[in-house]
Amino acid sequence: MGRQGQPDDRMRHFDEDREDSAVAELLRRAYARRVDLDTAARHLWAIDVAARSRRRAERAGRSRRAVVAVLTSLMVVATSGVGVAASNGALPGDPLYSLKRGTERVRLVLAVNPETDAQVQLAIARKRWDEAQRAAEARPDVVPDLLKDTFVALQAAEQRGGAAASEAVALRSEITENSSRIALGERPPSAPAAEEAPDEPAPVPSTQGPSPEADAEAPAEPTPPASPEPTASPSPPADEPPSSDAATVEPEQTPGGSDTWRAPPESGESPAQETPTAAPTATPEAPAPEPGTVPPPATDGGGGDTSAGEPGPQPDAQPGAQPGAPPADGPETPAEQPESAADPAPAAAPDDGDGERPSAPGWGRPRP
Amino acid sequence: MRVAPCVSYSLRRRACGNDPKGTDTAEECPLEPDVQNEQGGPFPEEVAQGVRQGDPDAVGSVYVALADRLLGYLMARVPDRATAEDLLEATFLELLQNGRTIRGGAAAIKVWLFRAAHFNALDHIRKVQRRAEDLCEDLYTIEVADTHRGPEDQAVADDLSRHVRDTMMELSDEQRQVLLLRYVGGLSAPETGRVLGKSDGAVRALQHRGERALARLLERAVDQAAPSSRDEAS
């Protein structure tokens, strides 16, 4: 023992704050544990729920006991590992949906290096896309947000590069092809606020498309969804959710097209509507022109209308502006937007409803 | 919600492609020291501020940084994994609720968490003991050790680790708690003192004596078991 080795070995131990490495290793082997993913997701979800309950209770002046009761009942659901697995099929609005999102959040946090993060983002994008497809018939109102989130995740995956990035690009084109189907199922009113912002309108690999559109002729090109192509550039926060575009997209390709759109379709006017919202992102849809032409459509919910506007001007924005108008993509894609590639984003702006087309700031945004 | 600079060793292992579910124990993992952020704390100070404001995301970041250590400690005190996880959850919910009252930065929050975990474990053990005593009033008092042993002790894959856990139960409560907080929880001696309500000197004395006793007892056990033994601290 240390007694002979070091004269005041024992005294030293009392004076120092040190670790015995052999003991350390033994104890860590015997006791160290890691929290597994399901448990971590449950706990983080519980923390979120507790915070929200408390905030709500504080506002409502309810007693703490009520908060505890709510938490307990929720905890019953969450405490089973089955809950996490069962939440995989949840759609927005389902009680387990927040648990599902909480699990994803945990995975994101745990992904420390960029490649893992890209994989997780890609998986999330797939999930959002799956949810969007499933919700298209039953709950169309959540689809635009889901599509938007899809593109956010896709962009994140693409930015980080690696194997996940190329898969993300493939997924993006798949979404682009299919989103028109979803758009068809959507009703214009659902056009959500333009949050498009960050999403890239993935649809349409955006071939800049014929610039003629830029002239705003965008005849009922509601499809703008293609708008700002997936360029990695983070679409300006302003992007208005192209979702409205989705509605607009209808006019173009869909036979039925959104009703509100019908009117505008004739002229690329709809672009006017879109333009206003035109996501600030680069998709400079070349809006400007429309405002006058399409005024009527713009007035309607703005959401739907804007989409209409997109088709027109978009051509300009294509370049890469994908300002995030992805959500609208769904409907837009139908438009095959080669031109709209850039548009979608700007079109997303429909929320603005104002017709101000963003000057093509986004032009020339490099595609990711 | 990023915890980039302050990732515990187990999370870093996970990031490098190891089992993401974390069901395997630390035995298979190479031991790495905890990564600390620039200020030397377990997580960034901005997160600490968020905790004091009751922000659930900040509490979540703290969870990611410290949950492994806390769970290890809790599972050492309450060897049933499910119970330990429940206590872990309860501890973090307490942090969410009472975070405003914590004075100090990230290090203070870490100490607070271990203290809360320590008392939650103690409360649970006492409750179980009380319940057992109520049921068997006429029988002999349930040995304290029984409440400390549980399924996890059986589930430990490594023979040596099982020895270590058994031997640890032969130390005094205080010695064992000091060793668990120092080595499993990763706390410094002063932090351990704050959790247990002891002075620095008392902690170091307990640690030293505990280590010696553990080494002695393990030597004996290992010698009796097999010649191939891991080197002890002595």
Give, to the nearest 10 degrees, the angle between helix A21-31 and helix B56-77.
100
B230: its two tokens: 């891991």
Among B7, B22, B59, beta carbon nearest to A36: B22
Q: Report CB contact under 8 Å: A23, B214.
A: yes
Instruction: Determine whether A205 is exposed, middle or buried from the number of CB atoms within 10 Å of its CB (0-12, 13-18, 19+).
Output: middle
Rounded average pLDDT per 10-residue block, chain B, 234 residues? 36 43 41 49 87 91 93 90 94 94 91 96 89 66 53 69 87 94 93 94 94 88 62 49
CA separation for the pair B190, B59 (Å, rounded): 24
The pLDDT confidence band at residue A184, using thresholds 50, 70 and 90, is low
Among A10, A29, A44, beta carbon nearest to B161: A29
CA separation for the pair A121, A97 (Å, rounded): 18
pLDDT at A207: 45
The residue in chain A having the minimum alpha-carbon distance to the alpha carbon of residue B11 is A110
The residue in chain B having the minimum alpha-carbon distance to the alpha carbon of residue A32 is B72
Q: Count of residues for chain A?
A: 368
Q: How many CB atoms lie within 10 A of CB B90?
A: 17
* Rounded mean pLDDT, A266-279: 40
Question: pTM surpassing 0.90?
Answer: no
pLDDT at A169: 86
Whether A184 and A250 have beta carbons less than 8 Å apart is answered as yes
Shortest alpha-carbon distance between residue B141 and chain A (Å): 28
A347: its two tokens: 């079109």
User: Residues 6 or more apart from A206 whose CB is under 8 A from it?
Assistant: A226, A227, A228, A229, A230, A318, A319, A320, A322, A337, A338, A340, A341, A342, A367
Chain B partners of A30 at a C-beta cutoff of 8 Å?
156, 158, 160-162, 164-165, 168
Residues 5 to 24 of A: which have CB under 8 A from any B CB? 10, 13-17, 19-20, 22-24
CA separation for the pair A230, A322 (Å, rounded): 5
Among B61, B71, B231, beta carbon nearest to A22: B231
Shortest alpha-carbon distance between residue B159 and chain A (Å): 10
The residue in chain B having the minimum alpha-carbon distance to the alpha carbon of residue A28 is B184
CA separation for the pair B196, B94 (Å, rounded): 18
Sign (positive/negative) of CA torsion B89, B91, B95, B97? positive
Residue written as token pair 């690329």 = A268
Instruction: Determine whether A177 is exposed, middle or buried from the number of CB atoms within 10 Å of its CB (0-12, 13-18, 19+).
Output: middle
Asked if pLDDT for residue A2 goes beyond 70, the answer is no
Q: Report CB contact under 8 Å: A34, B71.
A: yes
Q: Report CB contact under 8 Å: B26, A16.
A: no
Q: Report CB contact under 8 Å: A35, B85.
A: yes
DSSP, residue by residue, A23-41: HHHHHHHHH-----HHHHH
Chain A partners of B93 at a C-beta cutoff of 8 Å?
46-47, 50, 71
A50 touches chain B (CB under 8 A): yes
More confident residue, B53 or A110: B53
Q: Report CB contact under 8 Å: A27, B164.
A: yes
B123: its two tokens: 């409360």
DSSP, residue by residue, A170-209: HHHHHHHHHHHHHHHH--GGG---STTTTS---SS-----
- Complex ipTM value: 0.77
